[in-house]
Structure formats: structure tokens, C-alpha cells
A and B are shown apart, each in its own frame.
Chain A
Amino acid sequence: MTGMEEYQNGSEGAFNSEETDGIVKECIENVVAGDDYSQGQVNKWTASIVERCLTQLVKQGKPYKYIVTCAVMQKTGAGLHTANSCYWDTAMDGSCTVRWENRTMYCVVSVFAVAIA
């Protein structure tokens, strides 16, 4: 019975968005920090950022399904608006959006975590 109790207490409740924020920032900086926007490379960058984020999140070993989205946009003065709406369990599920920029581009990464069980 003690084994059962430990399992139930190990879920730690809601999604920790601060921790995820840190993980995502680190992933973005590892991929595009110091680079200028390049049409040829952007495909590779976005794929690399999402894969790294996903791998790091999975390493935490929490019982969540993840959706990671990355948008990289060249800085030309154009506007971009992003919104999200979710139908889920507000106690257990959560999201985290990180905005990062450098001289030539914007990078917006959203992580949505949906609890299993």
C-alpha cells in the first residue's frame, strides 16, 4: 500500500511553466544565438529547436503529452499576432510561450502539455 501512495504523490499536480520556460530558452539559444536570419537555414533551425525542446521535456519523465510549436520570422517591421485557445483540464494541463529575438529575427516557441491520466 505504501508503494501505491508514493506513486500517487509523485505526479506533482499542475504543469510547471517556469521550468519549461528555462528549458525552451536554453534550446533556442543553443540553436540560433548569434545567427542572422537566413532563408536557407530557417527550416533546419525550426526543426532543431522543436526537437531539442521535445527531447528535453521528455527527459523530465512526467506523464504528459507535448505539443511544441516554433515560429521564426524575419524582422522587417511587419506585425505578427498569435493566439491559442485550449479545451482541457485546467488543473493538470498547461502551456508556456517564449518570445526571443535578436537583431534580425523573432522566434516564438509555444509548448502545450496535456496530462495523461
Chain B
Amino acid sequence: MSDLPKDKSQKREKGKAPSEGSHGVRGKKTPGRTKDSISTTSCIDELGHHEDNTRITMENTYQLGPLKRFPVSAVTDILKDVLTSYLQEEKYEVEWSQKMTKTICEVIRARVKDLMIPRYKTVVLVHIGQRTSQSMQISSRCLWDATNDTFTSYSLRTALCLVWQLSTLFTLSESRRQ
């Protein structure tokens, strides 16, 4: 008979420890969560030294190149479209040509930008020349990443338009740790 009250007192003591920790939770009136709250409070009490490392640090992730390659045919179509619309039936004139080269350049760049291909930089080069039976040669070389970077060109009579698309590399997805 004497054992019963001892058991009861022991039970009460056991019952006290978790109940002290879970007072706050009970105050929130979430009876369904009492089991979970009891387990978390007990963890914090036992492993108090983890307070310094509560923020989880992730390793840096890198994206080495663009996810989607540049659509070369779409750009060629843009070049064809712009050159034919601006230079249709036009004769060479000094001031008009000066303005035209800049305008065509900017229009092409804006349209290529509108394609919204991420992780690419673009360089557009336009030459307009006068046809007077002279000879001309244009060459170019590039040092780039052959898997991702592309080049297209289109010429119409004496207007030559070259467009390079270069992929960007190495954007850290997280800021560097110091």
C-alpha cells in the first residue's frame, strides 16, 4: 500500500519535467502538438551547446554555363528581317549610312535581347559600304567556349551584319564566405 503513493509521487515528478518545458506550448493551446513539443524541448535542454551553430551553412553551388543554348536560327531571322526592312531600295549616302549603321546595330541588339536567353552576352557588328568596284576582305577570330558560344552573320548587298553570342560562366549562386 505504501508503494502506491510512492509510485504516484514518482509519476508526478516524471510528469513535472516535461510539463515545465511545455508550459509555453500549452499556453498556445495546441493540444495536438504536445507530444512534438515535449520532444523538442528535451533536445534543447540536453544539447545546449548547439545554440552557436543553429544556422545551417550550405556549400556553395556553381552554375558553370547556361542551361539553354542560344537559338541561332532565330537570330539569323532577326538579322535578315532588320536588314531587309531598313536597306530595301536605299542608295548610299554618307550621313544616312552613318546613322543607319548605328540604328541597325541598336535595333538588332534590342531584338536579340528580347529573346530573353539567360546567361548570354551579345556583340553586334554592322558594316555598310559603298559599291564602287573596290575590293574588301573581312575576317574574324574568336577565343571562346566552343560548346556554348555561337556566331551568326547575314549580308545584304554591301551591308554585312555579324552577331556573336557569348555565354557567361561562373556565377556563384551564394555569396562568397569571408
- A contact residues vs B (CB 8 Å cutoff): 37, 39, 42-43, 45-47, 49-51, 53-54, 57-58, 65-89, 93, 95, 110, 112, 114, 116-117
The interface residues of chain B lying within 8 Å CB-to-CB of A85 are 102, 105-106, 108-109, 123-124, 126
Main secondary structure of the interface of B (DSSP, over half): mixed
CB under 8 Å from chain A, chain B span 92-108: 92, 94, 97-98, 100-102, 104-106, 108
Q: How far is the CB of A18 from chain B (nearest CB, A)?
A: 20
Asked if residues A69 and B125 are in contact (CB atoms below 8 Å), the reply is yes
Interface residues of B (CB under 8 A from A): 92, 94, 97-98, 100-102, 104-106, 108-109, 112-113, 121-145, 149, 162, 164, 166, 169-170
Question: Which residue of chain B is the closest to A95 with respect to CB atoms?
Answer: B123
A40–B10 CA distance with the chains assembled, in angstroms: 106
Q: Which single member of A45, A47, A65, A69 contacts B162 (CB below 8 Å)?
A: A69
Q: Which of B101, B112, B121, B170 contacts A81 (CB 8 A)?
A: B101
